Amino acid sequence: MAPAWRDRALCYVHPFMPKPLKPGLTGVSLSYTDAPPKNPADARRWIQEAVRSGRYTATDHVGQRLNQRQLDMDDLFYAIEHPRRVEPYPDMPRHGGTCWRLYGLDLEQEQEIGVGIEAYLDERGRWAVLCTIFAVKE
């Protein structure tokens, strides 16, 4: 059986990154109980749900790093779907969310890779920005 991520577009990068809404602005009707993830378990679920649903964008930097490391989007999706660990990352979020690093194996399970992601909320729901991918030295 083909992996679930095979049925969606490999990488959709919208030319304009979606603008997250800030709670409290006029006309914003977000649930105030739903906020970006604050712990690794919630971040893992949030990011996996967003990617499975196609609610993600990938930066140009991700494409550059994939080429540089001779990986493809399937490797990135596999690491997201099967992370060995998830850690918060102290980077400044650009969409009002929280930043995370997911670590997992590539599709062929030959090397561990890390994926830098911001999880955020806007009027369309839970989203993820795939920011970078890097090789993990053990």
pTM across the whole model: 0.75
- Alpha-helical (H) ranges within 1-138 are 40-52, 60-68, 73-81
Which residue segment(s) compose the domain that 138 sits in? 56-138
Q: Is residue 25 part of a domain?
A: no
Q: Place 137 in a pLDDT band, splitting at 50, 70 and 90.
A: confident
pLDDT of residue 47: 97
pLDDT of residue 123: 86
Q: Is residue 19 part of a domain?
A: no
pLDDT of residue 90: 87
Cα-based distances in Å from 135 to 3, 36, 106? 23, 26, 10
Structure confidence by residue, pLDDT tens digits, 47-77:
999 999 999 999 999 999 999 999 999 999 9
Q: Is residue 89 part of a domain?
A: yes
pLDDT of residue 28: 40
Q: Average pLDDT for residues 23-40, to the nearest whole number? A: 61
Q: Place 138 in a pLDDT band, splitting at 50, 70 and 90.
A: low
Place of tokens 């993990």: 136
Structure confidence by residue, pLDDT tens digits, 82-130:
999 999 998 888 999 999 999 999 999 999 999 999 999 988 899 999 9
Q: Is residue 50 part of a domain?
A: no
Number of structural domains (the chain) is 1
Q: Is residue 5 part of a domain?
A: no
